């Protein structure tokens, strides 16, 4: 570890430079925002340093480069201006200053990685969109689909707009190159035009792409030019059937000394628009000649294929799918390879009568047969992959996986694994643990391998702090061959502070030992700091949004407005005085919780309890809990929750932030506890935040809770409720 | 004035933004002829998708390599999807891992807002990320095998946004 600290001063100097830079950004950004309020500015800067260490047998190290600190600083700048709703200008810049071969390979220093200028204007005779710099060129799967550096212009004429017809004309030019350093248009230059027309019946397009790779020693021995033409359409047919097709013609050269070649690429697909429940099907056929090789396309040349997929989705959410696939690779050669596949999959939650909670199942199985014309290849593969997940307890899930694959004359493999996911609370800490164990046995030709592995992952979250750790051990026995043991360990700490900053520290290590032989030890220490600067074109939110008049709120009463009087940070004695003034003198004491049976929301019939949580004589949190006994009446529950929300909005105004996910249904108890349904609303208050929501609870009870506290965990933490209150 | 929340509910690797079709989509340029709806106009002022979310998405995707979880993350229109998943299932070493050596540059390629109802919209962003990765597995004869590669990944990020009041 000594080496870790040897070059630390260099890192510190870098850190100071970046700190100074960010201070300038911070102050300068404020000034720019004030001068040009219509500009939105987003800047994100990450300074990261990694230290790599390798000892022992370096040949078997997971890392390539040896001991030293490797630092880089990434900047992502986005500037945007809306002159009016139809006129947008945007600049994106992504650059890195790097001293790390992992980050930028052989290049060092400052490297601009992505530059994009974007202009869109719709309030002119001919609406247009221009992109310059890095952009994604996409006409179709069979013509071009790749990142280019260059210019793309799109025109959208207003012809036949009143008849519901839209059209678009695109011209692009650009080179496909990984970096702006040493950029030259002569390396891999593409030009293309595309016309697309959309009507209520379907969409139709014509595309033309020309590509040129110039002669360059060590890269291309000759000058290669090629052109691809295509017509494609997507047609809506009666019965919610969708027909897609494309015919593409290729003419030109490609590397491997192929000149003046021509060939076709054909595609056809028919599918029904899948409804929520019921049958769905898809038929697909493709044919590509051996010389169909457009530079920017995705498809595989010299292949013919045909597929049929049939699926059914049950009312309970279980989904099944069957497939039949036929591929003929190298079909224009003397020895084509034919592959036939039949597969079946099933996924979803099933609930057998004896199980109180649903079992999640995911099954995928297929049979594959391959053979070639000359008889040199003839094998069959069987595969089965089964995943099951079952909640053993309220806070404990069991996961299992079984995998079997067998290819005749080649390999046979089995693997079984078991894992547990446990989550719990300890005071204000949220803890997750996941132990797992797996066994694997495989035979590949004459080599046999048997491996055991076990691992343990954990995570602890405390307010803005997150700790994460994992460790795993694997022993692998090989016949013939040497036995290998590997041990991995990983520790990470992450902290968010003052909204704009994130600090992270990570340690990753691995020990690899060969039984009776060499061993390799590697580790990596990483430290990084991310700074976010954001200037919105909207004015910042008010700290407190109160719809009712302050004097009305100031009037002490048993109403939802009581929260304004019982704020975090108030001395508990004063809080007790507030309650005494309201005629509530004897709370029930449970630990540091003072519990009152009160009715703050008159219109809500459910039991309501107000809890004051004391911490060293000071009120840390005020909580109101609504209990729901009859979980079967989801309509009543939902109506009651809406009334609580509306009452809060009447008093505190619109929430400053909220998260709504999933729909409330009959299964709302399970949905809330599984995280499918989330409801959280927050109001910024003078002394903290008010949060209303339905937290997930380990005892599966459904409660609506309102908390007034200085800070809350992020929305992703679902069990934010008061677990200690039964 | 409206309020919104942003949540990434799913991450996919794929090509098109909205249509599953295998050719480009027409992203309308807002014009006064068909003026922007109130929703579309307000959505234009939303902050961009966070880079943190993009990187987290890529990590989830790559961590699912050589596992059955990848099936859920791979877009339905991903070219040769079934063959990739079948090949992964019959990969010679189930213990093989994909290690991220470095996540590089990130770029939002396009966004589209789809109205769901009067109060909800869905924003779909297509994002490009470059990453340096390494496949690692133990070969009984060769020892530790490392296959390094730098690739561009296309992620589709779907956000549900609710307008308020």
ipTM of the complex: 0.73
Choose among A129, A205, A368: nearest Cβ to B29. A129
Q: Which of A141-150, A227-236, A644-653 has the lowest mean pLDDT?
A: A644-653
**Is A204's Cβ below 8 Å from some Cβ in B?**
no
**Is B128's Cβ below 8 Å from some Cβ in A?**
yes
Contacts of A141 in chain B (CB under 8 A): 15, 22-23, 79
User: Could you read off the pLDDT of A434-471 as tens digits, one per residue?
Assistant: 999 999 999 888 889 999 999 999 989 887 888 999 99
Q: Which residue of A has its CA nearest to B162?
A: A660
Domain count for chain B: 1
- Bridge partners of A362, per DSSP, are A347, A387
Does residue B18 form part of some domain? no
**Is A342's Cβ below 8 Å from some Cβ in B?**
no
Q: Do B146 and A62 touch (CB under 8 A)?
A: yes
Radius of gyration of chain A (CA): 32
Beta strands A678-685 and B97-115: pairing type?
Answer: unpaired
Q: What is the rounded average pLDDT of the residues A595-612? A: 82
Tokens 């070059």 sit at which residue? A7
**Is A700's Cβ below 8 Å from some Cβ in B?**
no
**Is B38's Cβ below 8 Å from some Cβ in A?**
no
Q: Which of A255-259, A349-353, A549-553 has the highest mean pLDDT?
A: A255-259
Contacts of A444 in chain B (CB under 8 A): 92
Does residue B20 form part of some domain? no
Nearest to A133 by CA among B103, B151, B109: B109
Give the pLDDT of residue B71: 83
Q: How confident is the model at residue A638 (pLDDT cuts 50, 70, 90)?
A: confident
- Cβ distance A629 to A589 under 8 Å? no
Give the pLDDT of residue A541: 33
Taking one residue from A and the other from B, the number of pairs with CB-CB distance under 8 angstroms is: 220
Please say if the pLDDT value at position A506 is more than 50. Answer: yes
User: Could you read off the pLDDT of B110-155 as tens digits, one per residue?
Assistant: 777 777 766 667 788 888 888 888 988 888 777 788 888 888 888 8
Q: How confident is the model at residue A11 (pLDDT cuts 50, 70, 90)?
A: low
Degrees, nearest 5: CA angle A289-A291-A295: 115
Nearest to A15 by CA among A43, A52, A45: A45
Nearest to A413 by CA among A405, A401, A424: A405
Does residue B12 form part of some domain? no
Beta strands in A498-557 (DSSP E): 501-514, 519-535
Nearest to A228 by CA among A182, A265, A184, A256: A265
Is the pTM higher than 0.80? The answer reads no
Does residue B25 form part of some domain? no
Q: How far is B22 from chain A (nearest CA, A)?
A: 6
* CB proximity under 8 Å: A 367-386 to B: 368, 381, 383, 385
Q: Do B36 and A442 touch (CB under 8 A)?
A: no
Q: Do B51 and A76 touch (CB under 8 A)?
A: yes
* CB proximity under 8 Å: B 1-30 to A: 1, 3, 5, 7, 9, 15-16, 19, 21-24, 26-30
* CB proximity under 8 Å: B 130-149 to A: 130, 132, 134, 136, 138, 140-141, 143-144, 146, 148
**Is B152's Cβ below 8 Å from some Cβ in A?**
yes
DSSP structural state of residue B35:
P
Percent of chain A whose predicted confidence (pLDDT) is above 90: 39
Nearest to A389 by CA among A447, A350, A428: A350
Contacts of A61 in chain B (CB under 8 A): 144
Does residue B95 form part of some domain? yes
The b-or-e profile of A467-485 (16+ CB within 10 A means b, else e) is bbebebebbbbbeebbbbe
Contacts of B31 in chain A (CB under 8 A): 86, 122-123, 127, 156, 158
- Cβ distance A624 to A610 under 8 Å? yes
Count CB neighbours of A332 within 10 A.
15
User: What's the residue count for chain A?
Assistant: 726
Choose, out of A83, A107, A141, A149, the residue to mutate when testing the contact with B (most B CBs < 10 Å). A141
Q: Which residue of B has its CA nearest to A451?
A: B95
Residue B128 Cα distances to A98, A134, B105, B151, angstroms:
21, 11, 8, 10
Choose among A114, A128, A198: nearest Cβ to B107. A114
Q: What is the rounded average pLDDT of the residues A109-123? A: 91
Q: Which of A1-15, A208-222, A394-408, A673-687 has the lowest mean pLDDT?
A: A1-15
Please say if the pLDDT value at position B15 is more than 70. Answer: no
The b-or-e profile of A191-213 (16+ CB within 10 A means b, else e) is bbebebbbeeebbbbebbbbbbb
Report DSSP letters for B45-87, one per residue.
Answer: TSPPPPHHHHHHHHHHHHHTTTSTTHHHHB-TTSTTHHHHHHH
Choose among A85, A364, A368: nearest Cβ to B36. A85
**CA quadruple A136, A139, A140, A141: dihedral sign:** negative
Report DSSP letters for A87-107, one per residue.
Answer: EEEEEEEEEEEE--HHHHTT-
Q: What is the rounded average pLDDT of the residues A673-684? A: 75
Question: How far is Cα A243 from Cα A202, in angstroms, rounded to an integer?
Answer: 9
Q: Which of A102-106, A308-312, A667-671, B34-38 has the highest mean pLDDT?
A: A308-312
Give the pLDDT of residue A25: 63
Return the H-helix or E-strand segment holding A222: none
Q: Do A198 and B26 touch (CB under 8 A)?
A: yes
The domain of B109 spans 40-162
Q: Which of A35-39, A127-131, A461-465, B105-109 has the lowest mean pLDDT?
A: A35-39
Q: What is the mean pLDDT of chain A?
A: 84
Q: What is the rounded average pLDDT of the residues A719-724? A: 75
Count CB neighbours of A216 within 10 A.
13
Q: How far is A596 from chain B (nearest CA, A)?
A: 33
Contacts of B45 in chain A (CB under 8 A): 40, 82, 536-538
Question: How far is Cα A75 from Cα A92, in angstroms, rounded to an integer?
Answer: 11
Question: How far is Cα A182 from Cα B115, in angstroms, rounded to an integer?
Answer: 44
Does residue B13 form part of some domain? no
Q: How far is A531 from chain B (nearest CA, A)?
A: 11
Give the pLDDT of residue A540: 34
- Dihedral of the alpha carbons of A95, A96, A97, A102, in degrees to the nearest 10: -150
Nearest to A149 by CA among A118, A121, A180: A180
User: Could you read off the pLDDT of A255-299 as tens digits, one per residue?
Assistant: 878 899 999 999 999 998 665 668 889 999 999 999 999 998 989
HSE (CB half, 13 Å, CA atoms) of A518? 11
**Is A168's Cβ below 8 Å from some Cβ in B?**
yes
Q: What is the rounded average pLDDT of the residues A338-355? A: 82
Please say if the pLDDT value at position A675 is more than 80. Answer: no
HSE (CB half, 13 Å, CA atoms) of A12? 5
Q: Do B44 and A440 touch (CB under 8 A)?
A: no
**Is B126's Cβ below 8 Å from some Cβ in A?**
yes
CATH number, residue B142: 3.10.450
Count CB neighbours of B154 within 10 A.
20
Does residue B14 form part of some domain? no
Contacts of A167 in chain B (CB under 8 A): 26
User: Could you read off the pLDDT of A356-411 as tens digits, one per residue?
Assistant: 677 888 899 999 999 999 999 999 999 999 989 888 887 788 989 999 999 988 88
Q: What is the rounded average pLDDT of the residues A414-420? A: 93
- Cβ distance A309 to A276 under 8 Å? no
Q: Which of A178-187, A278-287, A498-507, B46-55 has the lowest mean pLDDT?
A: B46-55
Q: How far is B32 from chain A (nearest CA, A)?
A: 6
**Is B41's Cβ below 8 Å from some Cβ in A?**
yes
- Cβ distance A90 to A79 under 8 Å? yes
Contacts of B158 in chain A (CB under 8 A): none
Contacts of B26 in chain A (CB under 8 A): 156, 166-168, 196, 198, 203
Does residue B26 form part of some domain? no
**Is B95's Cβ below 8 Å from some Cβ in A?**
yes
Q: Which of A71-85, A304-318, A543-557, A631-645 has the lowest mean pLDDT?
A: A543-557
Q: Which of A314-323, A570-579, A651-660 has the lowest mean pLDDT?
A: A651-660
Please say if the pLDDT value at position A542 is more than 60. Answer: no
Residue B81 Cα distances to A246, A288, B76, angstroms:
19, 18, 7
């Amino acid at each position: 570890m000594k080496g870790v600290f040897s070059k630390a001063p260099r890192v510190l100097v870098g850190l100071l430079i970046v700190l100074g830079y960010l201070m300038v950004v911070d102050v300068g950004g404020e000034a720019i925002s004030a001068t040009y309020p219509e500009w939105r500015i987003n800047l994100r800067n990450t300074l990261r340093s990694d230290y790599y260490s390798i000892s022992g047998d370096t040949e078997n190290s997971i890392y390539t480069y040896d001991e030293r600190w490797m630092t880089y600083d990434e900047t992502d700048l986005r500037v945007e201006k809306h002159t009016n709703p139809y006129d947008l200008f945007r600049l994106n810049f992504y650059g890195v200053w790097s001293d790390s071969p992992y980050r930028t390979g052989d290049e060092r220093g400052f490297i601009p990685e992505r530059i994009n200028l974007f202009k869109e204007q719709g309030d002119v005779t001919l609406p247009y969109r221009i992109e310059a710099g890095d952009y994604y060129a996409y006409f179709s799967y069979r013509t071009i689909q790749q990142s280019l550096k260059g210019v793309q212009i799109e025109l959208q004429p207003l012809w036949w707009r009143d008849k519901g017809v839209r059209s678009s004309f695109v011209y692009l030019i650009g080179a496909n190159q990984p970096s702006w350093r040493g950029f030259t248009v002569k390396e891999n230059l593409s030009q293309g035009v595309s016309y697309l027309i959309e009507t209520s019946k379907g969409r139709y397009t014509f595309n033309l792409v020309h590509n040129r790779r110039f002669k360059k020693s060590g890269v291309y021995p000759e000058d290669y030019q090629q052109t691809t033409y295509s017509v494609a359409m997507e047609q809506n047919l009666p019965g919610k059937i969708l027909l897609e097709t494309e015919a593409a013609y290729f003419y030109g050269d490609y590397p491997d000394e192929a000149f003046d070649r021509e060939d076709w690429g054909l595609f056809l697909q028919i599918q029904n628009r899948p409804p929520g429940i019921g049958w769905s099907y898809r038929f697909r056929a493709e044919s590509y000649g051996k010389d169909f090789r457009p530079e920017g396309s995705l498809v595989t040349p010299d292949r013919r294929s045909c597929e049929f997929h049939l699926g059914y989705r049950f009312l309970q959410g279980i989904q099944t799918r069957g497939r039949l696939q036929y591929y003929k690779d190298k079909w224009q050669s003397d020895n084509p390879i034919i592959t036939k596949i039949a597969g079946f999959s099933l996924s979803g939650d099933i609930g057998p009568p004896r199980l109180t909670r649903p079992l999640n199942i995911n099954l995928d199985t297929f049979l594959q047969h391959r053979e070639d014309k000359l008889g040199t290849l003839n094998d069959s593969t069987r595969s089965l992959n089964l995943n099951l997940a079952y909640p053993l307890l309220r806070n404990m899930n069991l996961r299992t996986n079984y995998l079997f694959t067998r290819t005749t004359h080649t390999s046979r493999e089995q693997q079984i694994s078991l894992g547990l996911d446990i989550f719990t609370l300890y005071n204000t800490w949220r803890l997750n643990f996941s132990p797992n164990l797996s066994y694997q046995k495989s035979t590949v030709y004459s080599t046999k391998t048997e491996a055991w592995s076990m691992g343990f992952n954990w995570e602890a979250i405390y307010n803005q702090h997150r700790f994460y750790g994992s460790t795993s051990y694997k022993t692998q026995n090989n016949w013939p061959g040497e036995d290998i043991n590997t041990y991995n360990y990983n520790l990470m700490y992450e902290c968010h502070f003052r909204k704009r900053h994130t600090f992270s520290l990570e340690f990753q290590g691995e020990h690899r030992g060969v039984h009776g032989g060499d061993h390799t030890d590697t580790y990596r220490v990483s430290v990084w700091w991310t700074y976010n600067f954001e200037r919105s074109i909207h004015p910042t939110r008010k700290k407190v949004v109160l719809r009712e008049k302050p004097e009305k709120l100031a009037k002490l009463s048993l109403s939802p407005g009581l929260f304004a009087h019982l704020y975090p940070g108030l001395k508990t004695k004063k809080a007790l005085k507030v309650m005494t003034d309201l005629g509530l003198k004897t709370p029930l004491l449970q630990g540091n919780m003072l519990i009152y049976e009160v009715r703050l929301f008159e219109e809500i019939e459910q039991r309501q309890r107000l809890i004051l949580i004391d911490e060293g004589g000071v009120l840390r949190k005020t909580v109101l809990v609504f209990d729901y006994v009859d979980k079967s009446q989801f309509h009543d529950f939902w109506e009651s929750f809406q009334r609580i929300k509306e009452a809060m909005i009447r008093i505190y105004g619109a929430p400053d932030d909220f998260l709504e996910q999933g729909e409330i249904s009959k299964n709302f108890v399970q949905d809330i506890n599984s995280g499918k349904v989330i409801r959280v609303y927050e109001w910024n208050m003078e002394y903290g935040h008010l949060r209303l929501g339905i937290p997930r609870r380990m005892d599966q009870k459904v409660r609506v809770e309102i908390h007034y506290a200085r800070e809350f965990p992020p929305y992703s933490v679902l069990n934010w409720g008061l677990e200690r209150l039964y | 004035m409206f309020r919104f929340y942003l949540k990434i509910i799913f991450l996919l690797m794929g090509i098109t933004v909205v249509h599953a079709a295998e050719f480009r989509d027409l992203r309308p340029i807002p014009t006064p002829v068909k003026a922007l709806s109130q929703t579309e106009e307000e959505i234009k002022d939303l902050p961009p998708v966070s880079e943190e979310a993009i990187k987290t998405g890529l990590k989830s995707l790559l961590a699912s390599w050589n596992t059955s979880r990848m099936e859920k993350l791979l877009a339905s229109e991903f070219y040769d999807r079934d063959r990739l998943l079948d090949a992964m299932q019959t990969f010679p070493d189930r213990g093989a891992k994909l290690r991220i050596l470095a996540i590089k540059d990130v770029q939002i390629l396009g966004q589209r807002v789809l109205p769901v109802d009067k109060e909800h919209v869905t924003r779909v962003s297509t994002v490009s990320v470059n990453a340096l990765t390494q496949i690692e597995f133990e070969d009984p004869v060769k020892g530790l095998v490392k296959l390094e590669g730098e690739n561009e990944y296309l992620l589709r990020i779907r956000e549900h946004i609710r307008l308020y009041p």
